[in-house]
Amino acid sequence: MKKIVIVLCLLAGFAAAGSAQESRQDFSISGIGLIAPFVASSTDVQVHSNYATGALASYRFMLTPNSALEANYGITYQNTYRYIVANSLTVPILTRTQEMSAAFVRSFVYRKFNPFLEAGPAGLIFLPIRNSGTGTYDAKQQTGVAVLYGGGIAYEISPSFDIRAEYRAYVTKVPTFGLGSGNSTENLTTNKWFNIFVPAVGVAYHF
């Protein structure tokens, strides 16, 4: 009887271990920051901004033990883009930013530490918030195409969970919120590109 119980326990243990090893998917929730750099352009438009905070949801499907495809959705609370035109006109636009992206992820395993690199295409939605923080009612929602790249490290706290810290970034054209060269009073065209920094820290569940 004791031998049977021992065998059953061993089989259950092997099954659990095999199940953990066969995990090919994970879902993570992270807190993010969004930091857009200062931009000075050839069109006499300067762009200043403050940082924003938000959340990011990510899903990964493992192609191999060291490579995966990832889908992301992120959103920030708010930050302000402040456009200074010809050193005379200041146009602040309070903005909420949404991210929808996909990436190829390459990971490296060092015991419980798993560094990784990722890159892929992204779409960014810049949504102006119409309140006292926005200096023009003509600002419109704008969707921009971007490149996502980054790297980070995951620390395994159990077969099902890990903690992730990551440096992410978007490369995208500086938005004009619909106030381009056709607007004679508030032309926010810069002809420049942003490299927006997006640090992230979160928890992932493997299944």
Rounded-to-integer distance, Cα 105 and Cα 70, Å: 7
User: Quick check: is 73 in a domain?
Assistant: yes
Taking only the tens place, the pLDDT of each residue in 169-192 is: 999 999 999 998 777 678 999 999
- Say which CATH number the domain at 159 has: 2.40.160.20
Tell which residue, 128, 144, 138, has the closest CA to residue 80: 128
User: If DSSP codes are grouped into helix, strand and coil, which group holds residue 44?
Assistant: coil
Tell which residue, 128, 51, 42, 47, has the closest CA to residue 84: 47
Q: Is the pLDDT of residue 4 over 60?
A: no
User: Quick check: is 186 in a domain?
Assistant: yes
> What is the model's pTM?
0.85
Q: Supply the mean pLDDT for the chain.
A: 89
User: Quick check: is 75 in a domain?
Assistant: yes
User: Quick check: is 107 in a domain?
Assistant: yes
User: Quick check: is 16 in a domain?
Assistant: no
Rounded-to-integer distance, Cα 128 and Cα 96, Å: 6
User: Quick check: is 34 in a domain?
Assistant: yes
User: Quick check: is 95 in a domain?
Assistant: yes
Mean pLDDT is lowest, of 3-7, 34-38, 139-143, for 3-7
Domain count, the chain: 1
Domain with 88 in it? 24-206
Rounded-to-integer distance, Cα 36 and Cα 55, Å: 17
User: Quick check: is 149 in a domain?
Assistant: yes
Taking only the tens place, the pLDDT of each residue in 8-63 is: 444 344 444 444 456 799 999 999 999 999 999 888 899 999 999 999 999 999 99
Tell which residue, 59, 94, 56, has the closest CA to residue 73: 56
